[in-house]
Amino acid sequence: MSLRIALVGASGYVGGELLRLLLAHPDVEITTLTAGESAGTTVAEHHPHLLPLADRVIEETEVARLIGHDVVFLALPHGQSAPIAKALQEQDPRAVLIDCGADFRLADAEAWRHWYKSEHPGVWPYGLPELPGQRDRLRRSRTFAIPGCYPTAVALALVPAFGAGLVTDEAVIVAFSGTSGAGKSPLPHLLGSEVMGAASPYAVGVHRHTPEIAQSLETACGGPVRVSITPVLAPMPRGILAVCTAPFAGPALEDAELRKVYAAAYDTEPFVHLLPAGIWPTTSSTLGANTAHLQVVADGHSGRLVAIAAIDNLTKGTAGSAIQCMNLALGIPEGTGLPLTGVAP
Ligand SMILES: NC(=O)c1ccc[n+]([C@@H]2O[C@H](COP(=O)([O-])OP(=O)(O)OC[C@H]3O[C@@H](n4cnc5c(N)ncnc54)[C@H](OP(=O)(O)O)[C@@H]3O)[C@@H](O)[C@H]2O)c1
């Protein structure tokens, strides 16, 4: 099989990670690369690590150029994917569309308007196959909304507990992110001299991933969940470490009981690893791998469950889940082309 692939946003960080993973996929042909201002430049100018594609020229993004592919990946800032996706659905309905941005993640139109200050573009199946019942939905779909990187880490850390009714209706999260989580933008707070040697909170109480995290936890438990997330920019290029806590619904459980619930959720999942008791997730252990490393314990003093997840924001946090979805949609074994091993230290 040789699937024709188009990638919109090829010059960006997510675009680069998609290309890295697609180069290792046996069933695809990277056919069309487009972007915005960098149209006319070569891949080598943006992603010198992708040698096999070095001389490929990135083209201007036009819907006509995207027609005739088996799969179109959209790796654009939020608000940019929806018009392209809608035009493509009309003109080439057989293509599989995979959006790595936020446009189609939220089911609640009001929440979208509140957090994104624009009209709700719609909702597509949420591209995280490890959530309960989600894999079968994704197999039947041709459109996919890939989760944000923080929501991926938090959902994997907390959905088993919310789904089993172990914890009540709130979650408090402090999550550390590498700078690539903000995209390739030349912003002052992302300058090396600002980032190196510093850990800096940002968007406290107003981060746009709040409703997406709430959506996953509410789907799991069937009731409302109040979410507080404090993101912290950390001096590393990649990685998310999400420290998530929620109050137990009853008396604190023993760690061993908690581990049974998480083992039942993830024992058959190749990419999600509940670490042995006493071993803590670290971002360096997931670097470049399509994996999530988890640990869960009971904090008996505060009566809270503590679940910690580490992922690579560009791999399991975006591009890896996007390729899992492509594989599911096209009947290819789900893990094809996806690395289980990282590059630590
Ligand atoms: N970075 C992460 O860890 C991460 C994780 C999960 C999800 N996401 C989401 O994935 C999407 C891409 O993120 P990113 O980090 O790759 O951002 P990025 O590095 O800033 O890249 C954005 C890409 O979009 C292109 N682009 C911007 N406006 C465009 C337009 N009007 N038409 C065509 N192309 C346009 C840019 O091309 P030019 O440079 O040529 O203008 C660039 O290729 C975002 O929605 C982000 O929220 C990112």
Domains of the chain (ranges, CATH numbers): 3-147+316-329 (3.40.50.720), 150-313 (3.30.360.10)
Phi, psi of 158 (to 5 degrees): -115, -20
- The amino acid present at 172, given as its one-letter code, is V
Helix/strand/coil for 200 = strand
In whole angstroms, give the CA distance from residue 290 to residue 321.
8
Long-range contacts of 86-92 (CB under 8 A, 24+ apart): 86/121, 87/63, 88/63, 89/143, 91/63, 91/67, 92/66, 92/67, 92/68
In whole angstroms, give the CA distance from residue 73 to residue 53.
17
Phi, psi of 309 (to 5 degrees): -125, 140
Query: Which of 14, 58, 103, 311 most suits a substitution to test ligand 1, by most atoms within 8 Å of the C-beta?
Result: 14
Among protein residues, the one whose CA lies closest to atom 31 of ligand 1: 36
Among protein residues, the one whose CA lies closest to atom 1 of ligand 1: 181
Query: Which of 46, 318, 321 most suits a substitution to test ligand 1, by most atoms within 8 Å of the C-beta?
Result: 318
- Told to judge if 149 belongs to the known catalytic residues of this protein, a careful annotator would answer yes
Distance 182 CA to ligand 1 centre (A): 9
In whole angstroms, give the CA distance from residue 258 to residue 193.
42
Mark residue 222 as left, alpha or beta (left: phi above 0; alpha: psi -120 to 50; beta: remaining): left
Among protein residues, the one whose CA lies closest to atom 38 of ligand 1: 36
Question: What's the Cα-to-Cα distance from 238 to each of 13, 313, 343, rounded to whole Å?
Answer: 10, 6, 12
Q: Which residues line ligand 1 (CB under 6 A)?
A: 9-15, 35-38, 61, 75-78, 80, 100-102, 148-149, 180-181, 183-185, 313-314, 317-318
What was the pLDDT predicted at 1?
A: 72
Question: Facing residues of 33 across strands?
Answer: 7
Helix/strand/coil for 203 = coil
Among protein residues, the one whose CA lies closest to atom 3 of ligand 1: 181
What was the pLDDT predicted at 267?
A: 97
Question: What's the Cα-to-Cα distance from 70 to each of 81, 92, 124, 318, rounded to whole Å?
Answer: 17, 10, 18, 20
What was the pLDDT predicted at 47?
A: 98
| Omega within 30 of 0 (cis) for the link into 345 | yes
C-alpha 27: how far from chain center: 23
Residue pair 165/220 in contact (Cβ under 8 Å)? The answer is no
Give the active site residue among 100, 149, 244, 325.
149
Mark residue 234 as left, alpha or beta (left: phi above 0; alpha: psi -120 to 50; beta: remaining): beta
- Per-residue pLDDT 10s for the chain (345 aa) are 799 999 999 999 999 999 999 999 999 999 999 999 999 999 999 999 999 999 999 999 999 999 999 999 999 999 999 999 999 999 999 999 999 999 999 999 999 999 999 999 999 999 999 999 999 999 999 999 999 999 999 999 999 999 999 999 999 999 999 999 999 988 999 999 999 999 999 999 999 999 999 999 999 999 999 999 999 999 999 999 999 999 999 999 999 999 999 999 999 999 999 999 999 999 999 999 999 999 999 999 999 999 999 999 999 999 999 999 999 999 999 999 999 999 988
In whole angstroms, give the CA distance from residue 279 to residue 91.
51
Distance 138 CA to ligand 1 centre (A): 24
Residue with tokens 């042995």: 276
Token pair for 210: 């709040």
Distance 98 CA to ligand 1 centre (A): 14
Mark residue 133 as left, alpha or beta (left: phi above 0; alpha: psi -120 to 50; beta: remaining): left
Among protein residues, the one whose CA lies closest to atom 7 of ligand 1: 148
State the sign of the Cα–Cα–Cα–Cα dihedral 328, 77, 32, 319: negative
Question: Facing residues of 126 across strands?
Answer: 145
Distance 318 CA to ligand 1 centre (A): 12
Distance 73 CA to ligand 1 centre (A): 11
What was the pLDDT predicted at 132?
A: 97
